[in-house]
Chain A
Amino acid sequence: MDCYTANWNPLGDSAFYRKYELYSMDWDLKEELRDCLVAAAPYGGPIALLRNPWRKEKAASVRPVLEIYSASGLPLASLLWKSGPVVSLGWSAEEELLCVQEDGGVLVYGLHGDFRRHFSMGNEVLQNRVLDARIFHTEFGSGVAILTGAHRFTLSANVSDLKLRRMPEVPGLQGAPTCWTALCQDRVAHILLAVGPDLYLLDQSACSAVTPFGLAPGVSSFLQMAVSFTYRHLALFTDTGYIWMGTASLKEKLCEFNCNIRAPPKQMVWCSRPRSKERAVVVAWERRLMVVGDAPESIQFVLDEDSYLVPELDGVRIFSRSTHEFLHEVPVASEEIFKIASMAPGALLLEAQKEYEKESQKADEYLREIQELGQLTQAVQQCIEAAGHEHRPDMQKSLLRAASFGKCFLDRFPPDSFVRMCQDLRVLNAIRDYHIGIPLTYSQYKQLTIQVLLDRLVLRRLYPLAIQICEYLRLPEVQGVSRILAHWACYKVQQKDVSDEDVARAINQKLGDTPGVSYSDIAARAYGCGRTELAIKLLEYEPRSGEQVPLLLKMKRSKLALSKAIESGDTDLVFTVLLHLKNELNRGDFFMTLRNQPMALSLYRQFCKHQELETLKDLYNQDDNHQELGSFHIRASYAAEEV
């Protein structure tokens, strides 16, 4: 265990950064990463690759292939790109792939390469073409920002509720800005761009020049800028090899660093976490990776291959052709425990437990030491917390074992934190598995919430795992198992190669009478896929007739809808169907249908009596109901007299 901190790199006096491998990728890349448009979704999301044939001046005779991989490199989808040239790829918060085309059209694909929809970024964009585009995340959802050929910006803060905003012009802008980024402050999206030595902030109405506080002189151009995951911090890389790090408002400087490399970096991203001790920026060149913070020395890594950085909430993911790594600041609890020669209570407890396993009396000494300081509770908590931040199950286990060992010597230690951590780790280890490929860290998982995680599993069609997690965490059925089953059923009805009977039976077997599952929703989905017969079969399982009727009407099974409505006993429903039928059928057929449904007939008669007397007469005529016809005329004569 002495070498446990071997991959820890100190940055300044207080913080350590470590990089560890998440997966060794065995994806079969045909192209070099540098030749591709790459997009990787945050929170351990999927990776999309599109070989970029348009960049080269060569006319593209071969259509490129859009490939989607899980974070562990398992292929999820692969499709031939048939639309226009793509400028930028990006993932939305719902894990939909947004492909921004040169003409301003945005195509939206699902995780499995299924086409969802497309939208356009407006005429202005269409005319001037797209020069560059960014997909960014806000608290409302995912936004798209576009730089057009006329050097104007257009953005939409939320693609699911598309509202285009054309940003004001930058005075005197001749060429494209050297770098730019979308910022999100106070719930409003801005654009920050650099032109030569000047920085401009574009908001809805105005364009204002800004200067970073305390920027070193001599800067003639900004080469790269990076916004932190939470939009709170900003880093600027200048042509002098100087890096300025500060708040996104540019009013405060955190630190600066001169790396003396003048080549423009390939990527620059923030690597920090909530309550970070030492915020740092990761800068990547072709073969060099540098972690820069408020310290005279930076941490340097050598990159063997083309790599791509993905900023995360609490670190940076780095993937290349062969590996997928995670770089982050070592969390406090882990640092306290594992730091060399640490005397923190957690460290002592871990040691005590190890000695205990060796049946050594030293265990008691260590334990006594902690107890004398009255820090046992703290020690247990530290071990639990540190376990959460460990990636390797064996380390998680030994930390949890230490926590459980320490717990024995405490009278009243509330067990929930321990239990919850065990559960969470079990879930995390399950989803981190190579086959699932969602490398979430504990903090990301907490931020994402279990509900969203389940949604993402459902999105990946990992229904069994999702259900197991629900059952394991004992989530209420309506939120958990039955919701997932409903999703599964909706997916199932899309399998066109299975016969209607088999699908209906399979769905009913799985779902049974699970509460909270609406068969009519599933049927609606089946109808949406053009499987009317299947939809009708599924509706048979729907216990509430009221739910069956609207869909039946939509499917033009009005007569069936009518009998279902009558079965439900809801006269309003019957009436709705009647009106529908009236418009759909010709008069004769309509009356014939009514004749077979006495309840509907009397309802309709009642209505006619007040609203459509002529129809009433026709109805009686059709039925040869002479008695009523006579009464009708008598009534009419009295009514006429009153006038």
Chain B
Amino acid sequence: MSPLDRIANVSILKQHEVDKLYKVENKPAVSSSEQLCFLVRPRIKNMRYVASLVNADKLAGRTRKYKVIFSPQKFHACEMVLEEEGVYGDVSCDEWAFSLLPLDVDLLSMELPEFFRDYFLEGDQRWINTVAQALHLLSTLYGPFPNCYGIGRCAKMSYELWRTLEEEEDGETKGRRPEIGHIFLLDRDVDFVTALCSQVVYEGLVDDTFRIKCGSVDFGPEVTSSDRSLKVLLNAEDKVFNEIRNEHFSNVFGFLSQKARNLQAQYDRRRGMDIKQMKNFVSQELKGLKQEHRLLSVHIGACESIMKKKTKQDFQELIKTEHALLEGFNIRESTSYIEEHIDRQVSPIESLRLMCLLSITENGLIPKDYRSLKTQYLQSYGPEHLLTFSNLRRAGLLTEQAPGDTLTAMESKVSKLVTDKAAGKITDAFSSLAKRSNFRAISKKLNLIPRVDGEYDLKVPRDMAYVFSGAYVPLSCRVIEQVLERRSWQGLDEVLRLLNCSELAFTDMTKEDKASSESLRLILVVFLGGCTFSEISALRFLGREKGYRFIFLTTAVTNSARLMEAMSEVKA
């Protein structure tokens, strides 16, 4: 499902005299229409497609009207390309400033998956303006945000840009009562670990297995147990889903069977009803029950399918390895598990993910391991992955420890570079250096690995660690929790240093206390570069525990596979 489907599906478009819909790609559009309208993201590639289409028409001697609508905004570079291809005069351009798509009651997505690669790999800052615009839109709708926190370079830039926007257009939000008490901006690169872990919360698992696109999932025949696939909208309106989405997967089956029994009991009430009651039942309850029945069967089917896939993939073993990596013991064993994973050619993306997880938790691979893993990977999956490795290194996801790597050595290197005049080089060097994860130290500092005394009861979760079977509290969520508790970054200096974000964390509180206590419970969390469903579940849990209500704004919903694909140079 694409964002457009969420707003205006095919039938609505047809009602408005849209003849046919095409995907913008490098193929001629066979259409007799007089007008073509391109609704595109402002990407250079798309512009080339548009240009080639227009040029093909020109060659064929056809004259049509062309309209290019850029969403969420137009970039100068795109117009440049149109101009270079010689079609700028033939098309008319427009902007559709659509930046926020509500996927659920508490989830807003900008649906910009390319944000991650563009910013964190290519260093392209063009989307920051879009983020700032989105924040501006929210603040005009819901009043100013009295308390702002943020961490990360991108978060800081977005925040500053948004502030300038506010100042330029001041007067509108002034004097309004704030409805959202806190806003928290967070860069994805602050916490790669959480995003790289296998998800075990139901919604995350569905996303990992079936890929949720725009809040909707395509269940194939293996789920629906028919020969047709089924499109299901996953959000709070789905009553069954709403109850299980945040649950650990091990609970879901039990819950679903309980639900099935309840449903049966309600159906059974029919017996012994008189005519009048029966009429009531049929007219009022039956439809709901039928609906619930249908949803239940879908989710049971999905669960079965997930179970089947996961047992085949030796899921238990995988999870165990991940937990070992997070906790930092049996590294050798984990390394050999990854080697085996590579050699068995389970999945290129999965193998890559495990390697990244190993690298980040271990602060970079030792050169021997790095080389051997890389060699094995390239031999197993093909040399075309070579570029992917270079990308991962640049993004700091998969790095090699410098020989004799100690912190002091690194720091002296940095300071040496700082004196160098070429400022550009510093940032380049910095971006690879700054990504030193220090995960182990942070984990200790923030107590991310809960002490296990006995079995962790996943039915009654104690803390946010439940989203990873009680083995790990998501770093991003922990940071948010800590900051909200303190209402500032105070006392987190050490953590910030370890996160390489000492300069990049900010707090901004307005002095006047106009915010009502109710609005102070409402927190907008902005993930720049995407967030996972596990993080959302963890924060929802935190909200229930502490009486907060979280609203999520993300550039896109992501998961480990999407992160890896974004870094990959090999097109699947």
Contact = CB atoms under 8 A, between A and B. Distances in A.
A571 B84 contact: no
B343 interface: no
B122 A602 contact: yes
B467 to A, nearest CB: 35
B81 A611 contact: yes
A633 to B, nearest CB: 11
B77 A631 contact: no
Nearest to A570: B129
B417 interface: no
Nearest to A594: B424
B405 interface: no
A611 B44 contact: yes
Interface string A103-139: 0000000000000000000000000000000000000
B384 A638 contact: yes
Contacts, number: 79
B128 A635 contact: no
Contacts of A602: 122-125
Interface residues of B, number: 36
Nearest to B42: A572
B55 to A, nearest CB: 16
Interface string A569-610: 111100110010000000000000011111101110111001
Contact of A575 (B48, B75, B569): B75
B471 to A, nearest CB: 36
Contacts of B44: 606-607, 610-611
B123 A598 contact: yes
A361 interface: no
Contacts of A598: 123, 423-424, 427-428
Given A575-B76, A611-B81, A635-B569, A596 B422 contact: yes
Interface stretch (B160-168, B273-281, B284-292, B440-448): B160-168
Instruction: Pick from B118, B128, B164, B425 the residue with the most CB of A within 10 Å.
Output: B164
B386 interface: yes
Interface in A250-286: none
Contacts of A601: 424
B157 interface: yes
A603 B126 CA distance: 8
A571 B75 contact: yes
Given A569-B164, A595-B422, A595-B424, A627 B76 contact: no
Nearest to B43: A610
A599 B123 contact: yes
A634 interface: yes
Nearest to A604: B77
A214 interface: no
Instruction: Pick from B48, B77, B126, B387 the residue with the most CB of A within 10 Å.
Output: B77
Nearest to A632: B387
B107 to A, nearest CB: 26
A245 B68 CA distance: 63
Nearest to A566: B125
Instruction: Pick from A598, A610, A631, A635 the residue with the most CB of B within 10 Å.
Output: A598
Contacts of B167: 543
Contacts of B384: 638
Nearest to A599: B125
Given A569-B160, A596-B422, A635-B569, A603 B80 contact: no
Contact of A635 (B48, B126, B387): B387
B45 interface: yes
Interface string A354-372: 0000000000000000000
Given A598-B428, A635-B569, A572 B124 contact: no
A544 interface: yes
Interface string B38-55: 000000110010000000
Interface in A610-643: 610-611, 623, 627, 631, 634-635, 638
A460 B353 CA distance: 74
Interface in B141-192: 157, 160-161, 164, 167-168
Contacts of A543: 167-168
A571 B424 contact: no
B390 interface: yes
B307 to A, nearest CB: 39
B132 interface: yes
Contacts of B427: 598
A571 B129 contact: yes
Interface residues of A, number: 30
Interface string A534-551: 000000000110000000
Given A569-B164, A610-B44, A631-B387, A596 B424 contact: yes
Interface string B113-124: 000001000111
Contact of A569 (B75, B123, B132, B425): B132
Contacts of A569: 125, 128-129, 132, 157, 160-161, 164
B118 to A, nearest CB: 8
A594 B422 CA distance: 11
Contacts of A635: 387, 569
Contacts of A575: 75-77, 80
A570 B129 CA distance: 6
A543 B126 CA distance: 21
Given A569-B160, A571-B129, A598-B428, A607 B423 contact: no
A605 B84 CA distance: 17
Given A575-B75, A607-B44, A627 B390 contact: yes
Interface string B393-436: 00000000000000000000000000000111101100000000
A603 B161 CA distance: 18
A572 B125 contact: no
Contact of A572 (B75, B161, B424): B75
Contacts of A571: 75, 124-126, 128-129
A214 to B, nearest CB: 60
Contacts of B129: 569-571
Contacts of B168: 543-544
Nearest to A601: B424
Instruction: Pick from A576, A605, A607, A627 the residue with the most CB of B within 10 Å.
Output: A607
Nearest to B119: A602
Instruction: Pick from B76, B124, B422 the residue with the most CB of A within 10 Å.
Output: B76
A337 to B, nearest CB: 48
A472 B125 CA distance: 49
B143 to A, nearest CB: 22
A576 B122 CA distance: 19
Contact of B122 (A572, A596, A605, A634): A605
B557 to A, nearest CB: 24
B399 to A, nearest CB: 13
B171 to A, nearest CB: 9
Interface string A430-470: 00000000000000000000000000000000000000000
Contacts of B125: 569, 571, 599, 602-603
A603 B124 contact: yes
A638 B428 CA distance: 26
Contacts of B118: 606
A598 B429 CA distance: 11
A635 B74 CA distance: 28
Interface in B372-397: 384, 386-387, 390
A580 B298 CA distance: 58
Contacts of A579: 80
Instruction: Pick from B48, B164, B167, B424 the residue with the most CB of A within 10 Å.
Output: B424
B163 to A, nearest CB: 11
Interface in B49-93: 74-77, 80-81, 84
State the 7 A-B residue pairs at the shortest beta-carbon distance, nearest first.
A602-B123, A571-B126, A610-B44, A572-B76, A569-B161, A598-B427, A595-B424
28 contacts: A544-B168, A569-B128, A569-B129, A569-B161, A569-B164, A572-B76, A575-B76, A576-B76, A598-B423, A598-B427, A598-B428, A599-B125, A601-B424, A602-B123, A603-B124, A603-B125, A605-B122, A606-B44, A607-B44, A610-B44, A610-B45, A611-B81, A611-B84, A623-B424, A631-B387, A634-B387, A635-B387, A638-B384
